[in-house]
Structure 1
Amino acid sequence: MSKYRNVRMALCAIFVATLIVFGAQAQNKVETVPYGANPAAGHSLRVDDANIYYETYGSGGTPLVLLHGGLYGYIEEFGELIGELSKHRRVIAIATRGHGKSDIGTKPFSYSLFADDAFAVIRHETSDKVDVLGFSDGAITSYTLASAHPELIRRLVAIGGPRKFADWTPSAQAEERNSKPSDVERDSPQFASARKMLMPQPERWLEFNEKLNAMWLGPVYVTDDQIQSIRIPTLIIAGDHDPYNQIPKFVELFQLLPKGELAIIPGCGHVVLECKGQFTISAVKTFLDGAEN
């Protein structure tokens, strides 16, 4: 089993552990928030060919938009972050199409498409500028969104998002080239089953995986010109032991940004919010609350 496959299995284990904790707490009548499937916070917006699901929490301050990671990622991965930051500002957590309760739609997946979906949700919810935090696939979407709509975003946080497939580690690239749409259900049946229960069209699970794999194998996700066009304060975050991405590539990305900042989290892999949650959240809060450059 490759290092890349091990990380996938670890992400699945985190998801399953979350389900177990929620179940145990429910039995003990301890109140929890069902992030990603919360009727009290959930909304749906028709965007072209798909219904996009999102949840809103808190009030006040500059709205914060959250864009989660791909495949194993979903709104619930931001639970601790939402709980903390929604105390003083409104949080809008968007489910990427095909993930959880958002439709897959009919179009090929692309980061431009995901950015269009996010833009529609944001402008449906507010006419004000927003802050955006994206993780992994969500980080790549955030680059595209910020480049396409410079008037939209006040401050941007991007965690673990590469610019292109060549920025992945060699082992991750090899694993992805050899992956099949059926791998996730084979390796992580409990995870796949739980996700299908959320999906509006669970029979399209393999198609969903095919669309993601095709997008990931694309040579370029966001161009250097697009990165250089992002002229808002932007914080790039990555774990120093990320098995998906080459760390020097994050340094290159940071150097392309006119108002970039860089935080490499020590002792962490890809999922820094799980590895050192409070440390990362503190860095995010400090950046978002900072004075304008």
Structure 2
Amino acid sequence: MHKLTILILFILSGFSSLAQAPFRGAMQAPNTIHKTPYGNNPSAGHYVQANDAKIYYEVYGGATHGKKQPIVILHGGILGSTIEMANFIDSLKQNFQVIAISTRGHGKSEIGSLPITYEKKANDVMAVINAVTPDKAIILGFSDGAYTAYKVASMYPERIKKMIAIGAGEQIPGLRKVVFNPKELLALDPPYWTQQKALMPQPQRLEEFWAGMETFYNTMTASKELFASIKCPVLLMAGELDRNAPLPTVINAYNMIPNAQLSIIPNTGHVCFSENFPATWASIVPFLKN
């Protein structure tokens, strides 16, 4: 195997039609699936200063018929962008106030000057929540976004009502080896990266950011101490064939979280919601209603 990160290969395994429709098929805005250019929508976009970085976010589904429950959407890391969460935003904005965040180093959000940690990413999320609403929020996060959601719920239990975590199981150093090869990553879908770099405040720092994230992913821990500290209800979801968050690691996390439900989407990989959104959504709806 080339030094294209195992993590990235696992992410790509979720896109069964990658050869026919690369990242643009699910992530790049505007596209032929979603009319709203999520992640690059001036009519909904805002910024907030979060310590060393300016974080970009969009708000949808305001209080047109009374106050709506806020729900934060966090996309995946490295290859991720707000547009990959489009089906969720489309489905949620009728009944919720949707707060879709471009996490630092992605889209229009700055990278910042300090090393990446999940504490810092959690503080980014809270800076956005505080700018939008004083109410408790629900968080829906995918992959890196789900690990960030775990940290937010742990650090700020009084502000989080419940959480949906997709594709994020127990993680300890040495469990996997992450290696980012910038040349290979950029070659996977050049038009996508052209589009994404056009959004970035400092596109010249992209490879520097990836190098920092490589170190971070290879040293991060998400295990008993973190999971046991999460008190809000959690819906933990994963694709049955997810090789980035294999089922044993997801089940371990489920067993460590005090108030957790588990949903496995059959015959799907890491990006289970892209492969089978109806099944993913069918698990989420009753959790949101309870």
Q: 1:145 to 1:6 in 2, by over 3 A?
A: closer
Q: Where in structure 2 are the equivalents of 1:1-293 lying within 5 Å?
A: 6-9=9-12, 13-18=21-26, 22=30, 32-59=35-62, 60-165=67-172, 173-174=176-177, 176-177=178-179, 179-220=180-221, 222-290=222-290
Task: Tell me how far apart the structure 2 counterparts of residues 117 and 4 of structure 1 sit (CA, whole Å).
Answer: 24
Residue 5 (structure 1) shift: 5.4
What are the Cα deviations for residues 57-84 of structure 1, in whole angstroms up to 9, with x where unaligned?
Answer: 0034310011110011111111111111
> How far apart are residue 187 of structure 1 and its match?
3.5
Runs of 5+ unmatched residues, structure 1: 26-30
CA distance in 2 between partners of 1:103 and 1:5 (Å): 22
What is the CA distance between 1:185 and its match in structure 2?
1.5
If each structure's helix is expressed as a fraction of its own residues, which one has the higher value? 1
8 Å contact 2:182–2:207 — kept in the other structure? yes
Over 3 Å counting, the alpha-carbon distance change for 1:252 and 1:188 in structure 2 is: same
Deviation (angstroms), 1:42 = 0.5
Matched-pair contact (CA < 8 Å) for 2:11–2:244: no
CA distance in 2 between counterparts of 1:245 and 1:24 reads: 30
How far 1:98 moved relative to its partner? Answer: 0.5
Of residues 5-14 and 239-248 in structure 1, the stretch that sits farther from structure 2 once superposed is 5-14
Distance 1:260 1:21, change over 3 A: closer
Q: Which has the higher contact order (CA 8 A, sep 6+)?
A: 2
Task: Give the conservation status (yes or no) of the 8 Å contact 2:164–2:236.
Answer: yes
> Does structure 2 conserve the Cα–Cα contact (< 8 Å) formed by 1:167 and 1:249?
no
State the one-letter code of the partner of 2:103.
T
Partner Cα separation in structure 2 for residue 21 and residue 147 of structure 1: 33
* CA distances 1:217-273 after superposition (whole Å, capped 9, x unpaired): 1141x3412211111111100001002122111111111111110001101000011
Partner of 1:28: none
Residues in 1 aligned to 2:137 and 2:169: alpha-carbon distance in whole angstroms: 23
Amino acid at match of 1:112: E
Equivalenced residue count is 278
**CA 1:167/1:279 → structure 2, altered by over 3 Å: closer, same or farther?**
farther
Q: Which amino acid aligns with 2:134?
A: S
2:122–2:151 CA contact under 8 A, matched in 1: yes
Q: Distance in 1 between matches of 2:32 and 2:87?
A: 18
SS of 1:236's partner is strand
Alpha-carbon separation, structure 1, partners of 2:218 and 2:26? 30
Q: Which moved more, 1:223-232 or 1:9-18?
A: 9-18
Q: Kindly tell me: are residues 165 and 181 of structure 1, through their superposed partners in 2, closer, same or farther at Cα, counting changes over 3 Å?
A: farther
Structure 1 pair 4–89 and aligned structure 2 pair: CA distance change class (3 A): closer
Q: Percent identity?
A: 36
Deviations 1:160-195 (A, max 9, x none): 113324585xxxx34x24x33443124433332221
Q: TM-score, with normalisation over the residues of structure 1? A: 0.87
How far, CA to CA, are the matches of 1:41 and 1:255 in structure 2?
Answer: 38
Contact 1:51 / 1:102 at 8 angstroms: preserved in 2?
A: yes
Q: Which amino acid aligns with 1:158?
A: A
Q: Secondary structure at the match of 1:55?
A: strand
CA distance in 2, matches of 1:114, 1:227: 17
